[in-house]
Amino acid sequence: QSVLTQPPSASGTPGQRVTISCSGTSSNIGKNTVNWYQQLPGVAPKLVMFVNDNRPSGVPDRFSGSKSGTSASLAITGLQSDDEADYFCAVWDDSLKGWVFGGGTRLTVL
Amino acid sequence: QVQLQESGPGVVKTSETLALKCTVSGVSLSTSPYYWSWIRQIPGKGLEWIGYIYYSGSTYYNPALKGRVAMSVDRPLNQFSLDVNSVTAADTAVYYCVTVVAAFGDYFDFWGQGMLVSVAS
């Protein structure tokens, strides 16, 4: 059972907009910034959003992030087939005194 | 370009110590604003943060790992290391070494390719 709650799956057709949510508590998302990672099959995770809503260089502007209260979201617009991957959220938890991750959301492009 | 590479045995026996090294290239371990971390992933499952270490050698570990973890740095070789003692099958995972950026909110940036370590009886 992960500390951060993500839906196990999400899907969309090419060109659509999808949103992946990450729900936490006042000791993690409520107090600290959220980062998002994309993991393609068989490879290491890759940073796609940092400090809630900042895109690393090289990540398309189709990706955006937001945070409100104890929840955060990653949105992908203009969905493409190579967006198909697992997505994880991560945040520092003040109560657990460590980094915690969501269980991951498998995004399928139909 | 920052690159990290894990190395070590792919199989460890139950109750023994898992020992991995991470060789960093493209940046010195002393470079600000970086510090260094280990994260693991049970195949097909989620991610678990193990701990982090600064260039100075200061460390902080996941309390959930109950004191079984130790990290160190080798400054001349630009490497940092992970030891997990008294391993069980539950420690079988892909182990990643990762850079952490200390910014206006810290985040994991560059990742090694990962190394699968299996614990066998």
Q: Tell me, letter by letter, the H, E, C secondary structure of chain A.
A: CCCEECCCEEEECCCCCEEEEEECCCCCCCCCCCEEEEECCCCCCEEEEECCCECCCCCCCCEEEEEECCEEEEEECCCCHHHCEEEEEEEEECCCCEEEEECCEEEEEC
* DSSP sequence for B58-78: -EEE-GGGTT-EEEEEETTTT
CA distance A52 to A38: 15
CA distance A55 to B69: 33
Task: Round to the nearest angstrom and report the end-to-end CA distance of chain A.
Answer: 28
- Asked whether B88 and B119 are in contact (CB, 8 A), the reply is yes
**Phi first, then psi: what are they for A91, rounded to 5°?**
-160, 155
Chain A CB contacts of B112 below 8 Å: 44
Nearest CB to B46: which of A96, A98, A103? A103
A63 contact B CB<8A? no
Q: How many CB pairs under 8 A join A and B?
A: 59
Question: How far A23 CA sits from the closest chain B CA (Å)?
Answer: 16
Per-residue pLDDT tens digits for B3-62 = 999 999 999 999 999 999 999 999 999 998 999 999 999 988 889 999 999 999 999 999
**Secondary structure class of B91 (helix, strand, coil):** helix
**Phi first, then psi: what are they for B26, rounded to 5°?**
90, -10
Q: Tell me how far CA of residue A42 lies from CA of A38, A77, A101, B4, in angstroms.
A: 12, 25, 19, 17
Please report the pLDDT score of residue B121 as a whole number: 87
A35 contact B CB<8A? yes
Percent of chain B with pLDDT over 90: 90
Chain B CB contacts of A98 below 8 Å: 49, 62-64
Chain A CB contacts of B111 below 8 Å: 44-46
Question: How far B100 CA sits from the closest chain A CA (Å)?
Answer: 11
Higher pLDDT, A1 or A49: A49
The mean predicted confidence, pLDDT, of chain B is: 95
- Asked whether B100 and B36 are in contact (CB, 8 A), the reply is yes
A87 contact B CB<8A? no
Q: Which of B73, B91, B33, B45 is nearest to A51 (CA)?
A: B33
Please report the pLDDT score of residue B74 as a whole number: 95
Please report the pLDDT score of residue A110 as a whole number: 93
Question: How far A37 CA sits from the closest chain B CA (Å)?
Answer: 9
Question: How far B37 CA sits from the closest chain A CA (Å)?
Answer: 11
Percent of chain A with pLDDT over 70: 100
Omega cis (within 30) before A7: no
A44 contact B CB<8A? yes
